[in-house]
């Protein structure tokens, strides 16, 4: 837990001291748990913070749960109050590593394995996924997607709406990292 806090402090203090770190505070995470014939259960968060240590591939992401925006305001209210309990669990985090990452060899877009610990709703699970890392104009464009299950993170869907919300939640992210 202390390691996560230290890493998040770096996110908010900037990179003036740490030249090998790249970061963003304007990353995007989208999720979708829609089922056919019902209103889309989808949201986007455009204020995601992330930091990458180019020297070793360590990677951390922080998303405030209340920053997810829905097209239907009532759905957003239920998401925060009933499902995600954002007053109790205000953030979702990822802490892990981009495997075999070598900043000196990022001259072209490349796929990497990303693995680490994803914490949502107070529950931490290991995940592994493929990501794209593309350098452009001194920045790194990092994107990827993965699927989680509500039940794996103790997110309870009431039986009244269970048929309207997919158990599988598709999560995608787009981050533009640069030196600040």
Query: What confidence tier does 108 reach under pLDDT thresholds 50, 70, 90?
Result: confident
pTM above 0.75, yes or no: yes
If you average pLDDT over residues 69-75, what whole number do you get? Answer: 95
Q: How confident is the model at residue 51, as a pLDDT?
A: 98
- Separation CA 10–CA 41 (nearest Å): 33
Q: What is d(CA 80, CA 158) in angstroms, rounded to the nearest whole number? A: 14
The label of the residue with tokens 């309870």 reads: 156
Average pLDDT for the chain: 90
**Residue with more model confidence, 162 or 10:** 162
Contact 58, 21 (CB under 8 A): no
How far is it, in rounded angstroms, from Cα 78 to Cα 44?
15
- Please give the domain boundaries of the chain with CATH numbers for all domains: 2-12+20-177 (2.40.128.110)
Q: Are 125 and 148 in contact (CB under 8 A)?
A: yes
């Amino acid at each position: 837990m202390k390691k996560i806090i230290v890493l998040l402090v770096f996110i908010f203090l900037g990179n003036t001291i740490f030249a090998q770190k790249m970061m963003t505070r304007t990353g995007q995470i989208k999720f979708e748990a829609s089922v056919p014939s019902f209103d889309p259960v989808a949201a986007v968060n455009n204020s995601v913070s992330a930091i990458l240590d180019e020297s070793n591939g360590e990677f951390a992401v922080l998303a405030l749960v209340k920053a997810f925006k829905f097209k239907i305001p009532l759905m957003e209210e239920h998401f925060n109050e009933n499902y995600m309990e954002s007053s109790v669990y205000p953030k979702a985090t990822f802490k892990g590593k981009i495997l075999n990452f070598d900043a000196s060899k990022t001259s072209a877009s490349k796929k990497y394995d990303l693995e680490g610990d994803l914490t949502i709703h107070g529950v931490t699970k290991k995940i592994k996924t493929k990501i794209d890392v593309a350098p452009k104009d001194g920045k790194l464009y990092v994107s990827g997607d993965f699927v989680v299950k509500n039940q794996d993170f103790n997110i309870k869907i009431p039986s009244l709406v269970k048929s309207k919300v997919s158990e599988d939640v598709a999560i995608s992210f787009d981050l533009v990292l640069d030196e600040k």
